[in-house]
Amino acid sequence: MNNFINKTLLNSLKRLYKTPNNALSSASSLPDVIVQNQHENDIKIYKKQTPSVLDPCDDEEVQHIAPYLKPTFNFAAYVNKSETLQELVKLGVNLHKLEKKTDVPEFILGLKFETDIKEHVILLHDLGLTVEQIGVILTKNPFILKECLDDLKVRINYLESKKFTAEMIVRIIALNPFWLSFSTRDIDKKLGFFQKTFSLTGDEVRYLTAKQPKLITYNQRHIKKSIFTLKEEMGFTDEEYKRILLQKPRLFMNDHKKLLKTFEYLHNTMKISLETIAQMPDVLGCRLFRLQQRFEYLQRLNKVQFNPKQPGYISPALIVSGSDSEFASQVAQTSIQSFNTFLQTL
């Protein structure tokens, strides 16, 4: 029986490797490792090779294999071995999100907590950031750990020199984890752009930055297009779009086409003036279908009255705020059941 198996294997190997008969003339020429897959009928033969740096090795530090991580890498296999990962977990860092980021797993596994991370954490904590906030920052921008501590201190000192308060600085970094990855020169140019473009005072620059720090580092081409949309396509004056910026800065990061469609519905269909929209820019950020549903419901009830000088006035801001239940009871003054019944007819 054994001779039969050996002959069968020899014949299979001859066909597989296309070698002459004398090349595999004895069982001693067979590969050293033969594995039988229990879920299939055929025998798979694996030729034993010399050890490779790609082979897993339990005796080596995980940092040594970090450069060879596969796209399907999972941190879970290394948590028990890596002090770095364990400390990051204590900080609240979301490893599941990190492992999905390009180049991050091997970067993180190449760090040592004591020498590469600890001082960064202390710096952020000394600023006034909570452990939870630091965990979020490192989850969103792990490459902040690449930044030199001296550079980070300079960037923080820059904000202090521009009279940003400690509370403002904490808010800026917490809401925009990528802020400290920009050089002071880049930040200075970006702040200068907003100050010059919108004729902002120093206090207004600080207010805007603390209110929406992501806007300052946002794609400037997109922001310029937003300015064009509000000023040229919608027709707002310089003063009006400055007011919109300070009250609702997030609008300048919104999709231009969606923003324009919402404006056209507000201005052309609902007959809301530009002045009114500029005074309550939250209406521009409302999803169009939600705005349409609520406006058409008010039309059905014959309650469309947006003139503050006339009885029964309804503020456009109230239409876009609150839940459906709040809108139905407080604005339309009907039951939520009636509003839901109306929605089913659309």
Q: Check: CB of residue 164 under 8 Å from CB of residue 206.
A: yes
**Residue carrying the six token digits 């009279």:** 163
Residues 6 or more apart from 129 whose CB is under 8 A from it?
137, 170, 173, 174
Helical (H) or strand (E) element with 44: strand 43-46
For residues 183 and 98, what is the distance between their CA atoms, to the nearest angstrom?
Answer: 24
Q: How many domains does the chain have?
A: 3
- Side chain identity at residue 162, one-letter code: K
94 within domain boundaries:
no
Overall pTM > 0.85? no
Residues 6 or more apart from 341 whose CB is under 8 A from it?
none
Residues 6 or more apart from 139 whose CB is under 8 A from it?
92, 93, 94, 97, 98
Q: Tell me what pLDDT residue 40 has.
A: 42
pLDDT tens per residue across span 66-119: 444 455 568 888 888 899 999 999 999 999 999 988 889 999 999 999 999 999
Residue 231 and residue 273 share a domain: yes
67 within domain boundaries:
no
Q: Check: CB of residue 244 under 8 Å from CB of residue 284.
A: yes
Residues 6 or more apart from 324 whose CB is under 8 A from it?
336, 339, 340
182 within domain boundaries:
no
Q: Tell me what pLDDT residue 203 has.
A: 97
**Structure tokens that stand for 276 in this block:** 């009114």
Q: Tell me what pLDDT residue 221 has.
A: 96
222 within domain boundaries:
yes
Q: Which domain holds residue 41?
A: 2-46
For residues 145 and 124, what is the distance between their CA atoms, to the nearest angstrom?
Answer: 11
For residues 336 and 325, what is the distance between their CA atoms, to the nearest angstrom?
Answer: 5
317 within domain boundaries:
yes
Residue 344 and residue 332 share a domain: yes
Q: Tell me what pLDDT residue 11 has.
A: 53
Handedness of CA 24, 28, 30, 31 (dihedral sign): negative
- The phi and psi torsions of 25 (rounded to 5 degrees) equal -85, -10
- Low-confidence stretches of the chain (pLDDT < 50) are 1-10, 12-69
336 within domain boundaries:
yes
The DSSP bridge partners found for residue 44 are: 35
For residues 176 and 263, what is the distance between their CA atoms, to the nearest angstrom?
Answer: 28
Residue 345 and residue 297 share a domain: yes
For residues 35 and 26, what is the distance between their CA atoms, to the nearest angstrom?
Answer: 19
135 within domain boundaries:
no
